[in-house]
Structure formats: structure tokens, C-alpha cells
Amino acid sequence: MAGARTTTSWCSHCGVGLAAPPGSASSVRCAFCHRVTRVEHHRGVGESAITLAAPSPPRPPCSARRELPAGYPRVSGKKRALLVGVSYTGTPHELRGTVNDVKEMRRLLCDKFGFPSGCILELTEKETDPYRVPTRENLLLAMRWLVEGCAAGDSLAFHFSGHAVQKLDSNDDEMDGYNEALCPVDFEQSGKILDDEINETIVKPLGRGVKLHAIVDTCHSGTILDLPYLCRLSRTGYRQWENHCRPSGMAKRPNGGLAISISGCSDDQKSADASGFSESASIGAMTDSFIKAVEAEPGTTYGRLLSAMRARIRDGQGSRRLAGRFGSFVRRMIPSNSVVQEPQLCSSEPFDIYRKPFLL
């Protein structure tokens, strides 16, 4: 006999979807804004219905209400990817190379990891489909597409190349007191996407057996997915996991799955492009180092991958300052974190980075 179904309603404060299982309390705390919404349960035939007790709640955000665009890929198989490159064309924030980042990531996913080309969704300003332009609303829709309907054994990839910023934390769940936020192309008009919202959209829905890798090439990107564990490089050069869960904050783990992020720099650092030392066209330094490291050593571990990325970024940025043996000597003597962005690894659960193979 089928059990009672969980019914989704909306937070009466911020509009995010709420799920209340049958027999739950009459109040539900929103995982995003942490406000409480009162609910009433009415038993129907074979299901549990839920009604908001608060009068006239606001309409949920457009990204939560709308169906996914018909032009988005219809996924078949166990792998799918969302690749986003934001150029901010014609603005003071314009970036070069983000479209190249997307093209190179598509090539890597298809050639090295067997991602079907038809299961990859790209958002750039070069797209003619208006739903594939990286606006705030489209980006949230595309994130929903990435995780919707995923099942055990699925491998998901999210790549973002563009700007990110830090904002003061308002709910006391950040170790350093700042939220990190991605900047869509229309961020000045429609707002940024906070790490809390990213976590709620593509991390929390991951069920048991589902794996997500996020490759984020932006400034201030170390903990951009708000994952609880950060792999920190010690003074001895050995990486160790740090628990970044605030005692007062809610756990931001998947619903049984695994989420891993590899980002271009720590939360307090800025990223660079690689146009000055890459043989390819203009491309983000982090994206370039990631692709070259993966291609140089197939089946590498997470630890070796980070070390190879760090070495390539260090040598590339250093070569633009001092060349030859003297430049090499200076780069060895100066602490890397004082001059060069440091790739970061975060995860929803700790693991041995020196033994676990990197696989998408």
C-alpha cells in the first residue's frame, strides 16, 4: 500500500519550497532563511495535504515557480553537466575568456570522462536561446535542471567562470563572517546568488549515491557551495580537513549524496586569467590549471590534482613577474599564499585526498 506523500508548499517569508512529511509539527523552519512558517495538515485520500496558516504569503521566486524551459537537454544516462561562462560584455566588469572556459570544460568532460554532449547545458552571453543567457533567474533554473530527477549512480558537474564577491553574513553561519556570492550577468539589477542559495539548490537535493563536482573559477570562491569541510594546506605542505560548520548554524550537507567543490582561490583571494602564460586563447587561470592537471595524469588523486594545479598557477603567474633562474629562485623563497591564488577543495564529507582517485 502506498504511503502518504510529502507535500511541498512555500516559505511565507522568502518563498523557498518547504516539505513537511506526514505527522510533522505544525511549524516548519525554512532551511534557507531560517524563519518559521506555521502549517496545517489535512488528511486526504492516500496523501497528506499542507496549508499555510500565515495570511496571504508572498509568491515564491520565479525560479522556484516556473517549469524548466523546453529547450533544456532531456537527460538520458548517468552523467549531466551545467557549464556557465559570464563575460559581462559592455560593462566595467567585462571578462575575457569565460566562453573559452566553457568550451574547454565541455571538451574535457566529453573526451576524458564520457559525458554525453547532449546532456551538457551551457549558459553564456553567446547563446541565442534567451533561457541560456546567464541571468540570475536562468542560472537558478539551470541549477534546478542539474539536480532534478537525479538518482543513485549519477555524476553531476557544475562549472562557473565569472565574478564572485563577499557579503556580510546575516545569519551567523559563516566562520569568517562573510557569505560568498556568484554574480550573474544581471547581478546589478537582479542581485547575486548567495552561497546559502547555491547550497539549497544543488547540494541539499543530492540523494544517496549521487555525486556532484563543482569547478568554480572566480574570486572569493573557496567555500562558495557552503560545504562543511575545507581541505587546508598546512605550513608543512600537507592538506588536512577543517570543519567549517558553525555551532549555531544548520548542517548544509546533501540528502545522502556527495558534493565536492574545487575552486580557484580562498575566500579572501582574487583569481586571474591565464592569458599571458597559456598557449591557448584567453582562459581562466584556475580552469586552465585544472584541465592541464587532469590531462597530464589521468586517474590522479585529489591531492595530486591540487598540487599540480597549484604548481601551474604559481609558475604561470610568477613567469609574468620574473623570468629565468632568478625568477624561479624567488618563487621558491616567497610563500605562495602571499603572491598567488591558492586552489581550494571543499567537501560534504572528509576523505583521504591522497588515496581517493579523482573521477567525474
Q: What residues are labeled active site? A: 163, 219
Are 255 and 202 contacting, i.e. CB atoms less than 8 angstroms apart? no
Which three three-digit cell numbers place residue 140? 537558478
Which residues are registered as beta bridge partners of 158? 82, 214
SS (H, E, C) the chain: CCCCCCEEEECCCCCCEEEECCCCCCEEECCCCCCEEEEEEEECCCCEEEEECCCCCCCCCHHHHCCCCCCCCCCCCCEEEEEEECCCCCCCCCCCCHHHHHHHHHHHHHHHHCCCHHHEEEEECCCCCHHHCCCHHHHHHHHHHHHCCCCCCCEEEEEEECEEEEEECCCCCCCCCEEEEEECCCHHHHCCEEHHHHHHHHHCCCECCCEEEEEEECCCCCCCCCCCEEEEECCCCCEEEEECCCCCCCCCCCEECEEEEEECCCCCCCCCECCCCCCCCCCEHHHHHHHHHHHHCCCCEHHHHHHHHHHHHHHHHHHCCCCHHHHHHHHHHCCHHHCCCCCEEEECCCCCCCCCECCC
C-alpha 58 chain-centroid distance: 28
